[in-house]
Structure 1
């Protein structure tokens, strides 16, 4: 999700009324198992339920037990973590990688120790909260640039050109709008103004670039090694949990000893890393699934647009249906649910414009897409 102000909690004595108000606004989710056809998760390749990956996870538990037992710097390290890191680095063409418990911990811990109060951090206006929380904790100066507007970014870089330490922070595929950043343009500005570049590939890894290795491995990016830091998660297209920061060998050593969310956290289950190796091998060979997902996403967008629905600047598997009000978003979500489709209403303050955030996966058929589209058309 994009970074926005969160709902402020009231005093303790006001909590009953506060939660009652949230419930009346349909902001409290039940914990029941999900029902309906999945049009809202981030399981883009359907791997979370793939028998081969499930079996690999079971094998990992048999080999390594249920948990790691400690931080990797104490007693939690296993060689399988390094095996995953080496494989992943080779896949995304980076010198080295470091495995974190999840993407939030990776972004928060990495940015907050890479930067310090001497840094100017240039942040896309729609960055994920984990990126912005890392920026805040770093103590550096936060400077927003207009969403995906590299002209605005360059003007700001020029304004702060006298600052020695600069870093550009952005997602490559934005989680709420489904649009992609201009990575070639970012690399040009990074080099021109001597900035570090930090990319969040959470919604791109597994789906774009050579063998699914992310936006940084698309054809127009000649030197992915010029990207200083890349965060890729196992928790979306790769069907598991956990995340990796891919960077240089020296930077990896620094994060290993300095990223607080790594140093002071119990290491992930070794079985996750074991299954992660299986997942990477599987994803590299899923070109047909990637192609089908992109074709279905293009069809879905163009069909919605044909009868006047606004899908913003989406160019990925994430397709927002932008609506006039929260009430409209809730109504459409409820109607879709009654027809067997799970697609959630996302509203302010999480996003600026209320919407149905549709995230497609490779298991959805053309016929199911057409039925979903018909429900939207009739709403």
Structure 2
């Protein structure tokens, strides 16, 4: 890669990290199916002495939803699952509105509630970060909270994806790790991407800093935060492997173009949003319907210690690019901010070449 461009990309990230007082970030850019730029920028410790590796491992938090959606569409392609199947049909023992479908779950239009804003969830997490709620405790929230009629509105729901995970397990007999390994991790020959189940599984994580547990002081959440607190399961990955997964989706290396079209069909239009001209949600993907770079799609993720974003740009200076950025401190949408910082630098550089 051009050394001037590499330095400009690095400088843009360094400047942003300094301004936001964030220790470090790992970023990866893929161009037309090949690695283009991978780097760790900044540091993995709060003393700013240990450089952050480009291959550092992080929770990818809600970007996991895009992978669960991919596995679901793979089953649709094989005729094993239908997007308009009733959820109740697949989970007869779990009492739900029979009109809720798989499509509703994938697009966050099931009407099922979320625990994202519930004080009971945050209080429990803060009190016992190493001891997560059981899936049943999460699912019980469905009966305690008011549900919207299915298909009437968009409501982001982690619970909806937990229900989806349950259906995938029931249909395939595979754990989430086994299913994602079969559909995504193994075909792409990923070495550092997996689904953790215990605190022993997460010792590979790079330190992630948050003030969530102390209220004031930053601390490393990686030995504390049990992956079970993400109700639908969470994937651990690196920036290069995350970029590879998201890119593979849009290069039809995992699913057919017809299935990708289903994922990219806007279920709900959210409208103007920072860095997006016209933000919408498809099936497991955020989409910008009016980006100057074509139909931009991907997902963000955040939780204690990390902020993540991975997006595919069909036309960035005449090339297809996929960009992933992960920071080791939790700041709202900060992974997304860094993705678009890189887009800005790439745009300017490519324009100067013509």
Q: TM-score range by the shorter chain?
A: under 0.3
Higher RCO by CA contacts (8 Å cutoff, separation 6 or greater): 1
TM-score, structure 1 as length reference: 0.24
More helix by share: 1
- Whichever of the two has the greater Rg, that structure is 1
TM-score, structure 2 as length reference: 0.25
